């Protein structure tokens, strides 16, 4: 379970970063490739959520955070998001009471990360806080603390896998 969850999340994160770079014109490839990659990461995330329903709080928090801060800014990401939302609707998502506190915690942390990341990119946040927001560590730290307290590391493992795929993909693209 641990390995497959991490690998699925890592794959999603890597495909998400490639989609980002194509949609922003940073990679010199046809945008149809970005659409295909958006469909791929949406499908992989949808599959991951179906296989690991327990990650719904962290994923919903991320989804709400990026929508609330306007990060779904291209049709490539829109297609991926639509696939995931349709999947969640078909699953008939049920948020149990015990999921509400982590969902709200993760959502607040996710919004802080997205806003802080934008401010860091604009140079309005510097030093250690700039690093924290550049790598969106507020949500990582919140999720890790939740996992330690709840003794369930599934949420954190998913997030680490997703972010690792995104960061590794970013690093590989920048070095080529």
Please state the rounded mean pLDDT for residues 112-124.
94
pLDDT at 60 over 80: yes
Per the prediction, the chain carries an average pLDDT of 93
The pLDDT value given to residue 113: 95
The pLDDT value given to residue 176: 62
Token code pair at residue 168: 């590794």
Residue with more model confidence, 164 or 93: 164
> SS3 string of the chain?
CHHHHHHHHHHHHHHHHHHHHHHCCCCCCCHHHHHHHHHHHHHHHHHHHHHCHHHHHHHHHHHHHHHHCCCCCCHHHHHHHHHHHHHHHHHCCCCCHHHHHHHHHHHHHHHHHHHHHHHHHCCCCCHHHHHHHHCCHHHHHHHHHHHHHHCCCHHHHHHHHHHHHHHHHHHHHHHC
Please state the rounded mean pLDDT for residues 36-57.
94
Token code pair at residue 2: 């641990």
> Which residues, at least 6 apart from 66, have a Cβ–Cβ distance to it below 8 Å?
72, 110, 114
> pTM for this one?
0.90
Token code pair at residue 34: 């970005």
The pLDDT value given to residue 95: 79
Q: Which of 4-18, 29-43, 80-94, 110-124 is predicted least confidently?
A: 80-94
In the chain, the N- to C-terminal Cα span, in Å, equals 33
């Amino acid at each position: 379970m641990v390995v497959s969850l991490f690998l699925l999340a890592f794959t999603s994160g890597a495909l998400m970063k490639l989609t980002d770079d194509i949609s922003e014109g940073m990679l010199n490839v046809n945008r149809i490739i970005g659409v295909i990659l958006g469909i791929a990461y949406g499908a992989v995330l949808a599959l991951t959520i179906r296989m690991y329903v327990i990650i719904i709080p962290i994923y919903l928090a991320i989804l709400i955070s990026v929508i609330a801060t306007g990060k779904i800014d291209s049709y490539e990401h829109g297609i991926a998001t639509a696939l995931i939302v349709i999947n969640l609707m078909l699953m008939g998502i049920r948020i149990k009471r015990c999921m509400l506190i982590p969902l709200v915690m993760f959502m607040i942390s996710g919004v802080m990360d997205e806003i802080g990341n934008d401010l860091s990119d604009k140079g309005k946040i510097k030093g250690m806080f700039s690093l924290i927001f550049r790598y969106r560590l507020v949500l990582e730290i919140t999720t890790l603390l939740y996992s330690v307290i709840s003794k369930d590391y599934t949420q954190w493992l998913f997030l680490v896998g997703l972010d690792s795929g995104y960061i590794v993909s970013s690093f590989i693209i920048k070095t080529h």
